[in-house]
Structure 1
Amino acid sequence: MIEKRAFYIGGQWVCPAAPRDHQVINPSTEEACAVISLGDQVDTDKAVAAAKAAFPAWAVTPLDLRRTYVERILAQYYIRAEEMAQAISMEMGAPIDFARNSQAPCVSEHIEGFLSALDRMEWAHDMGPEAPGTRIVKHPIGVVGLITPWNWPMNQVTLKVIPALLAGCTLVLKPSEEAPLSSMLFAEFVHDAGVPAGVFNLVNGDGAGVGTQMSSHPDIAMISFTGSTRAGKAISRTAAETLKRVTLELGGKGANVIFADAGEEAVTKGVRRMFNNAGQSCNAPSRMLVERPLYDRALEVARKAAEETTVAPAAKSGSHIGPVVNRAQWDKIQDLIQSGIDEGATLLAGGTGLPEGLNKGYFIRPTVFADVRPGMRIEKEEIFGPVLSMLPFDTEEEAIQIANDTEYGLTNYVQTADKARARRLGLQLNAGMIEMNYRSLGDGAFFGGVKSSGTAREGGIWGINEFLIEKAISDWN
């Protein structure tokens, strides 16, 4: 059993103010793999005080030196990348090869991206002839609280911690209590990189405890949160009392609009993309809208792709998908699958219960529903598991209407050989990100949505700007 009860506060690992053990469960085995402590108000206050004390010096630390510290964090990751992959695989169930190739490398990919963006940042500029002598200057907002999820732990930690550091903010990180081990290892990277004491702090806890304490804390100037829409709303309400900035990256219910000219391969890719990370991605293409001439063939192709998707424990090498993170998620997904059956959707593959050959672990059968109607629970609710809903459409206008008829607006997808049509949909689909023909957004593009998906803009120049405020100064010249 791994024991990691300490918090990282003021440049050192310190014991919690009061014991409050929490078991971290390996979702492949349903057994405890580690024990951490959940913090209380005293721990949160200590961490915020350390960040507040460190802020004045860090805010004026030369940018080149802040950059050097981040480069040292990156160097620590390269030394210990395998440890990071192992931690992620154990705590949240990512298959080890996927953890090595996709989950852990988020650290290096995002750090390198932010360092590149740093070279393009404009930190100050004159207003121009219309406002002679007026200077606009960007500076760090202050102490920030970062609350991160379990599904892509290092993706979200790196997308928040690194731009905050580069911007000149000091911070308190609360990782998910479901997957804290990777973040505690990241804290070791920060420590070994020599980042000054108090600049980075970590307190483990749950949302109702440390999360709420950070959101309401008068000395925290900003909260950056990734998680459920429900929790994002609660954080916004709590943070409103202290008028702090809140940036939210929340849930999604992405539509993947496949026109007939995209062909069968687009369907196969869409199923595989949906099942990636066991469906535990907020930008998953969970609603597949297929143009009528391709629809019947698409059902067979999707069924075959689902049946070819294997499920196995996270420690096993291979290209399979692993479990979902915990029992609560497993139960929720089972209920939603059953609701699809009860509401009359056609079950093409998968269904309720454990996959064949597995008698423990939070594993879900890769599931595909056909003939899903708008308004069904599986079409409306974010499932956060390997469950795909397929709907036919007849016209471009109908596809747009169905795709936009959701409270969410994170990522939508379009597959077509018609460039003009792709551009039309790109402009009319209501989401923060539109991916065409499975081509990823370019380096430096932000990640973020609209509506109930939140309006955060993480990554690249946008990600650094999230942690900056602008000041107007007259008579500069």
Structure 2
Amino acid sequence: MRTPVKSWDSHWIDGRWVQGSGAIEVTDSHTEEVIATVPEGTAAEVDLAVDAARRAFPAWSATPTKERAAILQAVADGMHERQTELATLISREVGTPFMLANLVQTGLPNVSFSSMAELLDGWEPDSRQGNSIITREPVGVVAAITPWNYPLHQIAAKIAPALAAGCTVVLKPSEVAPLNAFVLMEILDAAAVPAGVVNLVCGTGPVVGEALAAHPGVDMITFTGSTAAGRRVAAVAARTVKKVALELGGKSPLVVLPDADMGNAVLRSLTGCFINSGQTCSALTRLVVPASRAAEVEELAGGFAAFATVGDPFDPAHQLGPLVSALQRDRVRAHISRALDEGARLLAGGVEPPHESGFYVQPTVLGGVTRDMAVAQEEVFGPVLVVQSYDDSGTEQEQDDAAVAVANDTVYGLAAGVFGGDPERALRVARRIRAGQVEVNGGAFNPVAPFGGYRQSGVGRELGSFGFEEYLEVKAIQL
């Protein structure tokens, strides 16, 4: 699986490769070796890409929906043909175990394109309200700034609905995991996406990202990343009053009700927390449990976590791979150290590296975590589960009130889960949690349900029909 990887020295602008300058190194997260380089873009390349997107917009927005749908399906087919190649690249860039990369990191992007093709079948932009025609039109040129944790999925979740709506796009992929994006440009070209409809400029956030957010030729910014970076994108975009969609951080709870099967709940919590080595914005990183059963839950969680296997993402025996970079590894270890200093108890894992090389962190479980600890409030973005408790000594209503109070006690609201023996009670609690997605008793992720957060987890929604509508403007024509 560790065959030589292609480097890229050009950006994809106006349907051709445009020579770039500078070089950004891409590192294998398991070996810590540089495996490729990509160009380091500047504001000059951003100008070229935005100009190309603006020129392409009139023709693309006027393209019949059936033709757009056919092209989107051709992209999905092209991704399927190159699925193994893409999964391998992402495993090396991000550290995702290959089996998961092949299933999720490449499977979800395929669904994004194919579902948009299906959505356009029979879609009509016009409706009537009284004496008005209400019509929906593409917003224009979209700048998409995407993260490294699910790199291709987040690109597809933005590009596919934007193209379906009739928008043109300038993409800035994460410079930490950019190689998959260059392969996607080849797939888009093979699928006959017209020149200028999708453009790629690689580079850093402070240079390329800032230039896109500030550019007067960009009509909308769609960004996925940290809440701090999202605030900056929104502030810069506000200078030109762009439309902004933000998918940001999370500190998501899994609430366990007193009548739940504790073993199943803990297993789901560990799975929901440790997927992609915890590098998931919607990871269920807080296990919120009845105080009377906290000791039982802590013993289960620590015991289960100790059996999690960590290592080479291409070895099928390993459930967790490395983190994406040395910087991310060190950040996560610092969070663990601070939590222990603040009084949390180590139930599994810790700061010691599980391997001599690679950006690895042990799957870690912390007990005795109180609501005022940093690890209960701040996004760690690593394989770290915290156990919090709530008072379950009162009536059923008082128990639920206490559990919801802990669940909602962060600035975030991206995702959550509820486990309970009574499905109706679990659903009632789910409705009270302030989050964009809530699973009940392990309900499966739906790749066409709206995804996004409340409060500081973001603005807007991705995926499915709600994601599609983000890229449309609404016009009323009075007759």
TM category (shorter chain) comes to over 0.9
Distance 1:69 1:244 in 2: 28
Aligned-residue offset at 1:396: 1.4
Aligned-residue offset at 1:121: 4.1
Hey, what does 1:345 align to over in structure 2? 344
Q: Deviations over 1:186-208 (max 9, x none)?
A: 11110111111000100101100
Note if contact 1:272-1:305 (Cα within 8 Å) is conserved in structure 2: no
Q: Deviations over 1:406-438 (max 9, x none)?
A: 000000110012233222212211111111111
Matched AA of 2:434: N
Select the residue among 398, 403, 407 that pairs with 1:403: 407
Q: Deviations over 1:359-410 (max 9, x none)?
A: 0111001100011010101111100000000012122111111111100000
Hey, what does 2:175 align to over in structure 1? 177
Aligned-residue offset at 1:443: 5.4
Is residue 469 from structure 1 mapped to residue 473 from structure 2 by the alignment? yes
Hey, what does 1:279 align to over in structure 2? 278
Hey, what does 2:395 align to over in structure 1? none
Aligned-residue offset at 1:3: 1.7
Aligned-residue offset at 1:27: 1.1
Note if contact 1:120-1:461 (Cα within 8 Å) is conserved in structure 2: no
Distance 1:69 1:347 in 2: 52
Q: Deviations over 1:19-49 (max 9, x none)?
A: 2111011111111111111100111100111
Hey, what does 2:227 align to over in structure 1? 229
Matched AA of 2:281: C
Is residue 65 from structure 1 mapped to residue 67 from structure 2 by the alignment? yes
Hey, what does 1:55 align to over in structure 2? 57
Is residue 245 from structure 1 mapped to residue 243 from structure 2 by the alignment? yes
Matched AA of 1:280: Q
Secondary structure of the structure 2 residue equivalent to 1:390: strand
Aligned-residue offset at 1:154: 1.5
Select the residue among 119, 122, 125 that pairs with 1:123: 125
Higher mean displacement: 300-309 or 435-444:
435-444
Hey, what does 1:363 align to over in structure 2? 360
Note if contact 2:309-2:317 (Cα within 8 Å) is conserved in structure 1: no
**Aligned pair in 2 of structure 1 residues 319, 113: CA closer, same or farther (>3 Å)?**
farther
Hey, what does 2:116 align to over in structure 1? 114
Hey, what does 2:388 align to over in structure 1? 391
Aligned-residue offset at 1:317: 2.8
Hey, what does 2:307 align to over in structure 1? 308
Hey, what does 2:147 align to over in structure 1? 149
Secondary structure of the structure 1 residue equivalent to 2:186: helix
Secondary structure of the structure 2 residue equivalent to 1:282: coil
**Aligned pair in 2 of structure 1 residues 97, 282: CA closer, same or farther (>3 Å)?**
same
Q: Deviations over 1:418-470 (max 9, x none)?
A: 23322221221111111111102545311011111002210111111110001
Hey, what does 1:200 align to over in structure 2? 198
Note if contact 1:97-1:319 (Cα within 8 Å) is conserved in structure 2: no
Stretches of structure 2 lacking an aligned partner (at least 5 in a row): 393-398
Distance 1:260 1:117 in 2: 42
Aligned-residue offset at 1:122: 4.5
Distance 2:318 2:271 in 1: 11
Matched AA of 1:460: G
Matched AA of 1:300: E
Distance 2:15 2:278 in 1: 37
Alignment root-mean-square deviation, CA: 1.2
Q: Deviations over 1:52-86 (max 9, x none)?
A: 10000001000000111111111111211111101
Stretches of structure 1 lacking an aligned partner (at least 5 in a row): none
Secondary structure of the structure 2 residue equivalent to 1:392: strand
**Aligned pair in 2 of structure 1 residues 319, 121: CA closer, same or farther (>3 Å)?**
farther
**Aligned pair in 2 of structure 1 residues 400, 308: CA closer, same or farther (>3 Å)?**
same
Note if contact 2:108-2:447 (Cα within 8 Å) is conserved in structure 1: no
Note if contact 1:29-1:360 (Cα within 8 Å) is conserved in structure 2: yes
Hey, what does 1:97 align to over in structure 2? 99
Hey, what does 1:25 align to over in structure 2? 27
Distance 2:102 2:175 in 1: 22
Matched AA of 1:313: D
Distance 2:324 2:30 in 1: 9
Distance 2:201 2:33 in 1: 24
Note if contact 1:10-1:51 (Cα within 8 Å) is conserved in structure 2: yes
Higher mean displacement: 382-391 or 449-458:
449-458
Distance 1:431 1:117 in 2: 26
Is residue 415 from structure 1 mapped to residue 419 from structure 2 by the alignment? yes
Secondary structure of the structure 2 residue equivalent to 1:82: helix
Percent of matched pairs sharing the same residue? 39
Note if contact 2:65-2:120 (Cα within 8 Å) is conserved in structure 1: no
Distance 2:275 2:447 in 1: 21
Distance 1:348 1:125 in 2: 58
Note if contact 1:260-1:292 (Cα within 8 Å) is conserved in structure 2: no
Note if contact 2:302-2:347 (Cα within 8 Å) is conserved in structure 1: yes
Aligned-residue offset at 1:319: 4.2
Hey, what does 1:260 align to over in structure 2? 258
Q: Deviations over 1:281-324 (max 9, x none)?
A: 00000000012343222111111111111100223233420111
Distance 2:277 2:81 in 1: 28
Aligned-residue offset at 1:120: 6.5
Distance 1:295 1:160 in 2: 41
Distance 1:86 1:342 in 2: 39
